[in-house]
């Protein structure tokens, strides 16, 4: 059967159910598993012997939290990870995740000039700026940051949905990033059906009962991997 692509409303509903009494997950758990899947995706596509330097760009919300977790894991995997946060998050969980990166000596890039300089010595960008709750237009400071990332021509791996894309309409305005690789979390979103690069699914935490309830039709994850490639799988939305 075809894997289900989610509307914004359904994606939000599934997230809420994962964290309510029925799902029983904490936000920390979901971020840890999502971030690990993101790091594994980078490692699967960009071998650290050829692409060792990864710039992880984090927004202020939960998407940025996934990026911070991924940065820590990439450092543990032996990559030279660095962070760029155009607008750091203020929540306590975000601050803890940033501290964990500091504790593993992951440097932080600040300001547009440092960003441009860092991109010249980066092999991969992990885009964890906007999540599925993003709605255009792109506001400051991100309206400056996204063009800088695009113009760098450094390969991009986007988390869940490319930054600047609407969760249902995709890159209709043409202002979002155009990544080479996408790692969808839980299930892919409706707006990325037009995505043409390599597409992975991550977040191996959806209970079978919830998968069946929402008719997600998720593919099997291979072995102990936290990701599965879905580049050429048929899709459905209903």
pLDDT tens readout for residues 147-195 = 999 999 999 999 999 999 999 999 988 889 999 999 999 999 999 999 9
Centroid of chain to Cα 77: 18
Per-residue pLDDT for 210 more than 80?
yes
Q: Is the pTM of this model over 0.95?
A: yes
Kindly report the CATH number assigned to the domain that includes residue 26: 3.40.50.10260
Establish whether 62 is an annotated binding residue: yes
Establish whether 136 is an annotated binding residue: yes
What was the pLDDT predicted at 237? 62
What was the pLDDT predicted at 238? 52
User: Are the CB atoms for 38 and 126 separated by under 8 Å?
Assistant: yes
Establish whether 50 is an annotated binding residue: no
Establish whether 135 is an annotated binding residue: yes
Q: CB under 8 Å to 171, separation ≥6 — which residues?
A: 162, 164, 165, 178, 191, 194
Per-residue pLDDT for 91 more than 80?
yes
Identify the three-state secondary structure at position 91. Answer: coil
Establish whether 158 is an annotated binding residue: no
Comparing 93-102, 140-149, 217-226, 228-237, which segment has the lowest mean pLDDT? 228-237
Q: What domain range is 84 assigned to? A: 3-237
Cα dihedral across residues 171, 177, 179, 184: positive or negative:
negative
- Total structural domains in the chain? 1
């Amino acid at each position: 059967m075809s894997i289900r692509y989610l509307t914004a409303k359904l994606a939000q509903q599934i997230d809420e159910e994962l964290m309510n009494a029925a799902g029983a997950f904490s936000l920390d758990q979901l971020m840890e598993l999502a971030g690990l899947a993101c790091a594994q995706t980078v490692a699967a596509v960009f071998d650290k012997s050829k692409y060792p330097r990864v710039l992880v760009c984090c927004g202020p919300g939960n998407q940025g939290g996934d990026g911070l977790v991924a940065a820590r894991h990439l450092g543990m995997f032996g990559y030279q990870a660095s962070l760029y946060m155009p607008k750091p998050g203020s929540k306590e969980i975000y601050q803890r995740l940033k501290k964990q990166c500091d504790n593993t000596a992951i440097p932080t890039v600040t300001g547009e000039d440092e960003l441009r300089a860092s991109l010249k010595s980066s092999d991969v960008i992990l885009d964890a700026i906007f999540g599925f709750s993003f709605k255009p237009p792109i506001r400051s400071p991100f309206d400056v940051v996204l063009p800088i990332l695009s113009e760098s021509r450094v390969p991009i791996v986007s988390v869940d949905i490319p930054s600047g894309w609407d969760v249902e309409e995709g890159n209709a305005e043409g202002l979002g990033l155009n990544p080479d690789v996408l790692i969808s979390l839980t299930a892919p979103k409706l707006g990325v059906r037009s995505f043409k690069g390599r597409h992975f699914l991550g977040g191996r935490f959806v209970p079978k009962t919830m998968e069946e309830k929402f008719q997600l039709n998720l593919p099997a994850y291979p072995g102990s991997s936290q990701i599965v490639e879905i580049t050429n799988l048929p899709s459905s939305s209903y």
